[in-house]
Amino acid sequence: MAVEVRVPAILQSVVGGQKVLRVEGRTVGEILDRLDQEFPGVKKLLLDEDGQVRRHINIYLNDEDIRFLQRLETPARDGDIISILPALAGGGIHALR
């Protein structure tokens, strides 16, 4: 079963410039493992030393944050979409001055 993985611009250089990848796996964690097999180093950018999603990275399965599902154990089905998004930091109105 393959899912579509949408890659943010900041990670596209690691995956050969691709914006969208088709990856097989039964869970989000398994999909990240397979992605790392094909593009070594991807997981290190996404997961911390404890194997959890880094605080500044958000991973969505069909528009739902996996942190509120089953995290890396979240099941994935054929045709699902995984979006990887780096958190955006912003400022208040002072940042506009």
Confidence of residue 90 (pLDDT cuts 50, 70, 90): low
Distance CA 8, CA 84 (A): 6
- Residue-level pLDDT at 97: 44
- Residue-level pLDDT at 89: 63
pLDDT in tens, 35-89: 999 999 999 999 999 999 999 999 999 999 999 999 999 999 999 999 999 887 6
Structural domains of the chain, ranges and CATH numbers in brackets: 2-89 (3.10.20.30)
pTM of the model: 0.87
CB burial class (10 A; 0-12, 13-18, 19+) of residue 65?
middle
Q: Evaluate if residue 92 carries a pLDDT over 70.
A: no
- Residue-level pLDDT at 60: 98
- Residue-level pLDDT at 16: 94
Distance CA 13, CA 51 (A): 22
- Residue-level pLDDT at 87: 81
